[in-house]
Amino acid sequence: MKAFRQVAVLAAAAVIALACGGSGGGTSGGGSSSSCSKTYKVGLVTDVGKLSDKSFNYDSWQGVLNAQKDSSLCVQARAIESSTQEDYPKNIAQFVDQKYDMVVTVGFKLGDATIAAAKANPTVKFAMVDYADFTDKPPPTNLVGLVFQEDQPGFLAGALAGLQTKSNTIAYVAGLESVPAVVKYVKGYTNGAKMTNPNVKVLGIYQPESGPKDFNDPDWGLQQANTFFGQGADIIFGVGGNTGNGALLAAKQKSKTCIGVDVDQFVSYPDVASCLMTSAEKHLDIAVKQSITNMVKNSWQSGTLTFDAKNNGVGIAPYHDYDSKVSTDVKAKVSDIATKLKDGSLATGVSTP
């Protein structure tokens, strides 16, 4: 499992002034070592969530900073925050115009702008975090999508839930069923729970398509979670951005147990720390650093780069305040499952594209 990230890292970075929306500023890391024969300039463009989101943007930026701290890579880093979706193309263009070697963009909303920039600038490397929906087959040789095998952390979270439930009923409140990552999390969660507890009942619902409220309807998520609690569920998995966060909040209010998603939500959503047993994680920082390393070491891989249990690209977060509530025996069982997912001796039973 991934070690707890220290929020102090972000605080230190934030001392440097931020500038948003293509205004020409950004957050810069330190310079590279003077012993470097070449300094590789790497820029990161955030989604509108900003670096302070303690989620996708924050974790991706940590990956860039970790590459910069690695003296063998000779990387100089800078981030530009986006205020609106209209900022994406011009923020990417800032790095291109300033002759950056590589641009990292965070999230599927930047996909179109990143692909367009990659086609127009074949000498610049581009990495898209959590997105690889390429229309072109094959995609541009200077472009890579960093994707994750979400069924595996979902499976681990479900296995834990199956072992921890007292009512033999658990649940999930998920985002759109049309998003493959969401479905993989849910199916992994369900299969993991049923492996460790064949008697478990798994309740769940996907959010209906709702336009502006897609992944952003915490009130709906809270209502659905409360319905499941009324049906006997004692553990809930929130798998849908702010919609899923509503389910976590319901668990806190009802003194039930909750499981977060994507990042360690003990850090990103401290309001629900009291109910949070763990989070099913994508290790975005590891993925981003790997893509930068590939660029520097001349081992660039275009197309899709997949992160899973074998390369430590996914996992579950520490138990934090729940540590004393999870027995040594349960911890050992979950750790054994994680090991088997890593060495390939156990499969989640979820088909992935």
156-204 per-position pLDDT tens digit:
999 999 999 999 999 999 999 999 999 999 999 999 999 999 999 999 9
Which structure tokens are listed for 51? 């670096």
Position 219 in a domain = yes
Q: How far is the C-alpha of 235 from the C-alpha of 161, rounded, in Å?
A: 7
Kindly state whether residue 353 falls inside one of the protein's structural domains.
Answer: no
* Chain segment 291-319, per-residue pLDDT in tens: 999 999 999 999 999 999 999 999 999 99
- Binning the chain into helix, strand and coil, the percentages to the nearest 5 are 40, 20, 40
Do 59 and 132 lie in a common domain?
A: yes
pLDDT for 134 equals 84
Q: Give the number of C-alpha atoms closer than 13 A to the C-alpha of residue 289, restricted to the C-beta side.
A: 20
Give pLDDT, residue 141. Answer: 96
Same domain? For 126 and 76 the reply is: yes
Give me the chain's average pLDDT, please.
91
In a domain, 227, yes or no: yes
Cβ atoms within 10 A of the Cβ of 248, count? Answer: 30
Look at residue 92 and tell me whether its pLDDT is greater than 60: yes
Q: Residue 212: what pLDDT? A: 86
The Cα-based distances of 214 to 105, 155, 217, 221 in angstroms read 21, 24, 7, 11
| Pair 17, 77 in one domain | yes
Residues 182 and 248 in one domain: yes
Kindly report the number of other CB atoms within 10 A of residue 41's CB atom: 17
Are residues 144 and 245 both part of a single domain?
no
The tokens for 232 are 């006997």
For residue range 277-294, list pLDDT tens digits in order: 999 999 999 999 999 999
Predicted confidence at residue 21, as pLDDT, reads: 43
* 90 pLDDT more than 90: yes
Contact 344, 310 (CB under 8 A): yes
Residues in the chain: 353
Both 120 and 164 in one domain: the answer is: no
Alpha carbons within 13 angstroms on the beta-carbon side of residue 281 total: 33
Is residue 63 a contact partner of residue 56, using CB atoms and an 8 Å limit?
no
Number of Cβ within a 10 Å radius of residue 141: 13
Shared domain for 113 and 37, answered yes or no, is yes
SS3 label, residue 261:
strand
Read off the pTM.
Answer: 0.88
**Residue 3 maps to a domain:** no
Residue 270 has pLDDT above 80, yes or no: yes
Structural domain includes residue 312: no
Would 277 be classed as within a structural domain? yes
Q: With 90 as the cut, is the pLDDT of residue 133 above it? A: no
140 and 184 share one domain: no
Alpha-carbon distance of 276 to 283, in angstroms, equals 19
Task: Say whether both 199 and 334 belong to one domain.
Answer: yes
Please count the structural domains in the chain: 2
Has residue 28 got a pLDDT over 90? Answer: no
> Is 69 a member of any domain?
yes
Res 8: pLDDT: 39
Element (H, E) at 265: helix 265-268
What is the percent of the chain with per-residue pLDDT over 90, rounded to a whole number?
83
- Regarding whether 212 and 323 lie in a shared domain, the answer is yes
Confidence of residue 137 (pLDDT cuts 50, 70, 90): confident
Which pLDDT does position 72 carry in this prediction? Answer: 95
What are the tokens at 170? Answer: 């658990």
Flag whether pLDDT at 81 surpasses 80: yes
At residue 34, the pLDDT reads: 58
- Section 129-146 average pLDDT: 91
Asked if 195 and 114 sit in the same domain, the reply is no
Read off the CATH number of the domain in which 194 is found: 3.40.50.2300
Overall average pLDDT of the 211-216 stretch: 89
Nearest-angstrom CA–CA distance, 59 and 324: 27
313: in domain:
no
pLDDT for the residue numbered 54:
85
Residues 6+ apart with CB under 8 A from 86: none
Where in the sequence is the domain holding 133, given as residue range(s)? 8-148+284-307
Comparing 181-190, 209-218, 260-269, the range with the smallest average pLDDT is 209-218
Tell me what the mean pLDDT of segment 65-75 comes to: 97
| 237, 181: one domain | yes
**H/E element holding 66?**
helix 56-69
pLDDT band at 52, cuts 50/70/90?
Answer: confident
The mean per-residue pLDDT over the stretch 120-141 comes to: 93
Q: How many CA atoms lie within 13 A of 275 on its CB side?
A: 24
